[in-house]
Amino acid sequence: MSNVAKLVVPLVLLAAIAGGAAYYLTQEQDAPPVVPPTVMTPSPEPQPTEVPVVVSPPVVTQDPVRTAATGGNSQADAPQGVRGRVLLPTGGPAAGVPVMLLENAMNDMAQIFLNNRLGRLNPPIATATTADDGTFALGLRKLGKSIDLRVVSPEHPEFSRQQIKVREGDWYDAGDIPLELGLVVQGRVIEMHDKSGIANATVYMASSHQSHSMVAAPGRERGTPTMTDANGAFRFTNAPRTGLVNLSAEAPNYASSQLLNQQLKQDAPNEFTLELELGQPIAGVVVDQDGKPIGGVTINANGISRKTPQQATTTSDSDGNFEFASLRTGPYQLATVSTQFAEAKVPLALTGETEVKIVLTTRGTVKLKVLAANKQPVKAYRVSLKRYFAQNPDSIANVLDYGDRSINPGDYPRDLGGEWALVKGLPAGDFRFQISDSTHAKSLSEPFTIVEGSAPVEVVATLTLGGTITGTVIDDRGQPIADATVSTDMNGGLAADTGLFEIFRSMMPEKHSKASAKTDAQGRFRINKLAFAEYMIRASHPSYCEGSAINLKLLNEGQQLDAGVIQLALGTVVEGVTMVGGLPTGQIKVTISTPMSAESLPTAQPGGLNPAATPGPARMLFNATVQSDGDGRFKLLKRVPPGTYKAHASRPGNGGDPFGALMDMRETEQQVVIGPGQETLSLTFNLSKR
């Protein structure tokens, strides 16, 4: 694959993945066509003979309820964190307002997308309420990931400052956070036929901009809630000032109702009426193929008529029983979600049906035997399930709903002679296991196929010793560099260091081995036990710029690949200060990068000879980012080679101002020219107050 393709193709594919995730989260499910009534079956397999379920012990699977947030766990005694002060729109202190730190969705977009789909939401990292003077301190014990700061006032629009990165021992000062006056959204919830008000109905208001709610504040997973009064009236004073909102209402014995994508007026109250009709139930039981009830299974009901646009979720109890108590009259499709059983669907269920029977088949099981390179059995290793594509056998893909797991001797049942580990809960499809241990290269098993409900599949995997990459690291005078760190990485071609590639790399399967080595006195390095994959090599030393070699392919057992000579330029230390309105301000992201233009791409300079690799430049497009400390000072973590670059600074994203970061970048962008032999460069960024 060409270097240009390596730049363009991953970004296009990853953008498509992100778009698919966003589409899933923001769209209603397409309504399947109405089909004649049918008996509930999970697959084309024959329906098992009915067995009375009341005498069978329950089969309990996953817990679909999210982990409860720990209130008041500020972790203020941590050595680093986020602090600030919340102010009312009048300028006075906002006391008693909930504030929290949440994981940023971009840390692991695939996992967060999966958690949302399964209804599994993690608690905040830290929570607190503001003091009488509006101040707060939220500690952070674990570093390395971006976090979001949320201010969740019940009387004002929610505030979100996104992608905050806290350094060890540093307390980021968010400064004064003024709450906004929200727009007024009010109206009534009424009975559909007689138009009377419905008291004690719950009304939810949520922004139509779903990306902000991928990681929702506790209690606001469905939106900001309020209750109707005795006349069915409701009122929000904290509606967002920009964007569209969705409104939904529900009440006991009534089917829920919603209004989507409502544009709000800025200069007047926004009046809405939600009509509810008395609901009808759909109920039944979830059992396995032997008729045993299954608890803890999530069942989703989706209306399949324009007259029933409702969606609802429930969970089977310990006796396998489930009930949707109040649905709009009409047809629905039911679908199950479980980690231990295959998905089953009811193509058509009508309200009023109370004896729907859902029969689940178990997910697949593999009997796995792992052998070392010398053919001796291995019984302690890490296993990951990867999707296999027969039409493209060299490719694998992550399986989102099956996490990695460790296998140990306790997973080898005696009734199987102690030779086979049982790996359970596999979905249907074509797969390979990716297996790793401490003495071999990461290895892939032969392909195998899982048919849910069938007998266990036997898989024998033999670990390999993999291949080796060698090379030499020199300076810009041709002298060897000793004690340089050389590490392997996923091969991203020219795009590997642009930052865009990093956003979605968690979604991409890691076929490569992560390993590193130090260069000797002659600048030579050797990295062994590498999996068969395509690599890039990074060479770093505190006194030099980072160097690299890309497009290195290991294909065969025992292969030794010479990455050639990697030359490190002396480079320049870039440091400086970030300010807002002339005052030093921290937590500002500074980026310096190669300009992305048609002219700059072909002129990427080779970083050294690389005869064993696929022909092409060995230096990626340069990109480096850093965030200023609490005093507004910053220093790039790696030296910058000679060349012409663009640099800009931006504040953390604010959920209420999605274009703020773009405005910052445009305002502060400057051209930076670094000459050969230049030791340091100082930059100053002064952002306007907003």
Produce one character per residue of 337-367: b if its CB has 16 or more CB atoms within 10 Å, e if not.
bbbbbbbbbbbbbebebeebbbbbbbbbbbb
With beta carbons less than 8 A apart as the criterion, state whether 622 and 645 touch: yes
For the chain, how are helix, strand and coil distributed in percent, rounded to 5? 10, 45, 45
CA distance linking residue 14 with residue 20, whole number of Å? 10
User: Quick one: pLDDT at residue 493?
Assistant: 63
User: Quick one: pLDDT at residue 597?
Assistant: 61
User: Quick one: pLDDT at residue 630?
Assistant: 74
CA distance linking residue 202 with residue 389, whole number of Å? 47
Q: Hey, what are 62's tokens?
A: 């996953």
CA distance linking residue 97 with residue 586, whole number of Å? 24
SS (H, E, C) 174-242: EEEEECCCCEEEEEEEEECCCCCECCCCEEEEEECCHHHHCCCCCCCCCCEEEECCCCCEEEEEEECCC
Predicted confidence (pLDDT) per residue in 481-520, tens digit? 999 999 999 887 655 666 556 656 666 888 999 999 999 9
User: Quick one: pLDDT at residue 615?
Assistant: 37
* DSSP three-state, residue 152: coil
User: Quick one: pLDDT at residue 234?
Assistant: 97
**What's the Cα-to-Cα distance from 238 to each of 88, 214, 483, rounded to whole Å?**
13, 20, 58
Q: Hey, what are 632's tokens?
A: 């507004």
Which class for 472: exposed (0-12), middle (13-18), buried (19 or more C-beta within 10 A)? Answer: buried
User: Quick one: pLDDT at residue 351?
Assistant: 94
User: Quick one: pLDDT at residue 581?
Assistant: 92
Q: Return all residues near 277 (Cβ < 8 A) that are at least 6 apart.
A: 191, 192, 193, 254, 255, 328, 329
Report whether pLDDT(33) > 50: no
User: For the chain, what is the mean pLDDT?
Assistant: 82
With beta carbons less than 8 A apart as the criterion, state whether 294 and 315 touch: no
**What's the Cα-to-Cα distance from 600 to each of 4, 594, 632, rounded to whole Å?**
12, 8, 31
DSSP 453: T
Predicted confidence (pLDDT) per residue in 73-85, tens digit? 888 888 999 999 9
With beta carbons less than 8 A apart as the criterion, state whether 565 and 609 touch: yes
DSSP labels for 287-331? EETTS-BEES-EEEEEE-BTTB--EEEEE--TTSEEEEEEE-SSE
CA angle 431/432/435 to nearest 5° reads: 145
Predicted confidence (pLDDT) per residue in 240-288, tens digit? 888 889 999 999 999 999 898 999 998 888 999 999 999 999 999 999 9
Predicted confidence (pLDDT) per residue in 135-185, tens digit? 999 999 888 788 889 999 989 999 988 878 887 888 888 888 999 999 999
Closest CA to 532 of 554, 510, 550, 516: 554
Catalogue all structural domains in the chain, each as residue range(s) with its CATH number: 31-60+279-360 (2.60.40.10), 81-178 (2.60.40.1120), 183-276 (2.60.40.1120), 364-462 (2.60.40.1120)
- Residue 216 banded pLDDT, cuts 50, 70, 90: confident
Q: Strand order of the sheet with strand 670-674? A: 623-627, 589-593, 643-650, 670-674
CA distance linking residue 613 with residue 109, whole number of Å? 32
Q: Count CB neighbours of 469 within 10 A.
A: 25
Q: Strand order of the sheet with strand 485-490? A: 516-518, 485-490, 534-540, 547-553
Q: Are strands 364-371 and 457-462 parallel, antiparallel or unpaired?
A: parallel
Q: Which amino acid is at 6?
A: K
User: Quick one: pLDDT at residue 115?
Assistant: 62
Closest CA to 533 of 564, 555, 557, 502: 555
- Residue 308 banded pLDDT, cuts 50, 70, 90: confident
DSSP 373: T
User: Quick one: pLDDT at residue 603?
Assistant: 44
Q: Which amino acid is at 296?
A: G
Report whether pLDDT(617) > 50: no
CA distance linking residue 160 with residue 207, whole number of Å? 13
CA angle 93/94/95 to nearest 5° reads: 105
With beta carbons less than 8 A apart as the criterion, state whether 394 and 444 touch: no
Strand partners, 299: 314, 336
Q: Which amino acid is at 487?
A: S
Closest CA to 6 of 563, 501, 504, 564: 501
Cα dihedral 518, 523, 527, 533 sign = positive
Which residue, chain included where needed, has tokens 């996923």?
490
Which residue, chain included where needed, has tokens 């972790």?
75
Which residue, chain included where needed, has tokens 């290991």?
554
Lowest average pLDDT, out of 302-311, 474-483, 582-591, goes to: 302-311
Segment holding 664, helix H or strand E:
helix 660-668
User: Quick one: pLDDT at residue 396?
Assistant: 93
Count of H-run helices and E-run strands, the chain:
4, 49
Q: Hey, what are 563's tokens?
A: 């990455």
Closest CA to 470 of 397, 559, 401, 360: 559
- Over range 187-202, report the average pLDDT: 95
With beta carbons less than 8 A apart as the criterion, state whether 618 and 647 touch: no
Report whether pLDDT(57) > 80: no
State the chain's maximal CA–CA distance in angstroms. 89
Up-side HSE of residue 589: CA atoms within 13 Å toward CB? 20
Predicted model pTM: 0.67
The dihedral formed by the CA atoms of 496, 501, 502 and 506, expressed in degrees to the nearest 10: -120
- Over range 365-372, report the average pLDDT: 95
Chain-centre distance for alpha carbon 84: 27
Report whether pLDDT(196) > 80: yes
Closest CA to 139 of 175, 183, 172, 182: 172
Q: Return all residues near 116 (Cβ < 8 A) that are at least 6 apart.
A: 25, 214
Q: Hey, what are 43's tokens?
A: 């697959």
- Residue 88 banded pLDDT, cuts 50, 70, 90: very high
* DSSP three-state, residue 154: coil
